[in-house]
Chains A and B, each alone.
Chain A
């Protein structure tokens, strides 16, 4: 019974994070390739009034490449556009027009149209 309770608790916690309920940082996992930015559809709600957004680009399945990240609203309107050169464990911030308690998404794209399916992952806050 205890195990089931623990499992349900962890599951609810993970689902809660996944839906951005009061989450400061939300994970992203994006397969970027082709001509347009690819979105991670996990919504992230901003929890502060700072006019900055943060991205920690932790992993990529390709080596030695740059990656663009942008924060958008549900209509795809850009709130932040930032270019990162390398994977890192440190957060990189950019000036954004995001607002407290509002909902956003992260999108990503590589500069090289030819290089097929680059998978990037990390965490971010709007």
Chain B
């Protein structure tokens, strides 16, 4: 019982590491995108040139104190723009989405090749235990990422206090066309908080569950852990490359084929949400289901 509790605590710690890492990465990405750190080397090591460049744009820097640097850097309120910071702070996620799948795959690989086989053998309930473990892993990793997303979003809500770049520039607040064909064209203007919660749920919860299930299904096919770790990543990047090759050859709707579009949907205009969700979720779900159901029938422990 004590061992079981320790295992649970260790697992809990592992997922907390994911939450903390994602949150930290996002904060770093946020700080970099505010432009605060731009020119800091000039400020520290070549203050006279830094001062004269500031003066050329009409800003008098009186001393080389850090408070003066921050006062100068923070004159324009980009750090408070909700839309700008939601887009650019999470931009790095476009590159690392399949890595969460790889993590889930690796966790399941270790479970499957150690204690899980024994448990299944003892209980004779292969299907039930296997599916429960696979879904639990996928759910835990996706929830960790989504919690980090919600934490940062809450922080940004407080910082922005309703300000976004469009409102500041006296334009109509738009964020993305994704889901607006379901929710209504002015949904983002009316309910930006709900929009971000739902958007994050699809991108950073459901989509990560999908990749996690796919990677774990590979454990039932391959015995080499390198395949389990790298195949989801190769799948994601290869499809992206193919879609960009299609774009280069003149296919205008290439972005529907790119698995990164669902994470980077804000970049595109007039997105058909059904098509985007369908192409992002259905093929990979079918492949995963096919692998799992086939192996559940014929696997030998």
Residues of A within 8 A of B (CB): 35, 62-66, 68, 70, 72-83, 85-86, 92-99, 102-104, 110-116
Expressed in whole angstroms, the Cα–Cα distance for A46 and B228 within the complex equals 57
CB distance from B188 to the nearest CB of A (A): 13
- Complex CA–CA separation, A76 to B42 (angstroms): 11
Q: Which residue of B has the minimal Cβ distance to A92?
A: B171
Name 25 interchain pairs, CB-CB below 8 A, sorted by A. A64-B268, A66-B267, A73-B57, A73-B59, A74-B54, A74-B57, A75-B50, A76-B35, A77-B54, A77-B59, A77-B73, A77-B75, A78-B78, A82-B165, A83-B165, A85-B269, A94-B165, A94-B171, A95-B169, A110-B267, A111-B266, A113-B91, A113-B264, A114-B94, A115-B267
Task: Given A77-B57, A81-B165, decide whether A113 and B87 contact each other with a Cβ distance below 8 A.
Answer: no
Q: Are B56 and A73 in contact (CB under 8 A)?
A: yes
What residues of chain B lie closer than 8 Å to A82, measured between beta carbons? 165, 169
Q: Which residue of B lies closest to A62 (CB)?
A: B247
* Chain B positions 72 through 103: 1 when the CB is less than 8 Å from some CB of chain A, otherwise 0: 11011010010110011001101100000000
- 1/0 per residue B50-76: CB within 8 Å of A? 100110111100000000000011011
Q: What residues on B are CB-neighbors of A65 within 8 Å?
A: 267-269
Which B residue sits closest to A75, measured CB to CB?
B39
Choose one: B58, B59, B75, B268; the contact of A66 (CB below 8 Å).
B268
The reply to whether B57 and A113 form a contact with Cβ atoms under 8 Å apart is: no
- B39 near A113: Cβ-Cβ < 8 Å: no
Cβ-based interface call for B258 (8 A): yes
CA distance A70 to B57 in the complex (A): 14
Closest to A104 in B: B57
Q: Is the CB of B267 within 8 A of A111?
A: yes
Contact assessment for B76 and A80 in the assembled complex, using a CB-CB cutoff below 8 Å: yes
Distance in Å: Cβ of B20 to nearest Cβ of chain A:
22
* Residue of A35, A64, A102, A114 with highest tally of chain B CB at under 10 A: A114
B168 proximity list for chain A (CB < 8 A) = 94-95
Contacts of B54 in A (CB 8 A): 73-75, 77
Residues of chain A lying within 8 A (CB to CB) of residue B76: 77-81, 96-97
- Identify which of A73, A86, A115 gathers the most chain B CB atoms within 10 Å of its CB: A115
Interface residue? B160 (CB, 8 A): no
Given known pairs A73-B57, A74-B56, the reply for A114 and B264 (CB within 8 Å) is yes
B124 to chain A, nearest CB (A): 46
Q: How far is the CA of A104 from the CA of B58 in the complex (A)?
A: 10
Cβ proximity bits B39-52 to A, threshold 8 Å, 1 near / 0 not: 10011000000100
Of residues 154 to 206 in B, which have CB atoms within 8 Å of A's CB atoms?
165-166, 168-171, 174
User: What is the CB-to-nearest-CB distance from B217 to chain A, in angstroms, rounded to a whole number?
Assistant: 25
Q: Whose C-beta in chain A lies nearest to the C-beta of B164?
A: A83
Q: Hey, which chain A residues are within 8 Å of B87, CB to CB?
A: 111
Q: Which chain B residues in 189-246 approach chain A with CB under 8 Å?
A: 240, 244
Give the chain A neighbours of B300 by CB distance below 8 A.
none
* Nearest CB on A from B55, distance (A): 9
Chain B contacts of A104 at CB under 8 A?
57
**Given A97-B76, A103-B56, A111-B87, 6 extra CB contacts under 8 A:** A74-B57, A77-B72, A77-B73, A98-B58, A102-B57, A114-B95
A86-B269 contact, Cβ under 8 Å, with A93-B169, A95-B168, A97-B76: yes
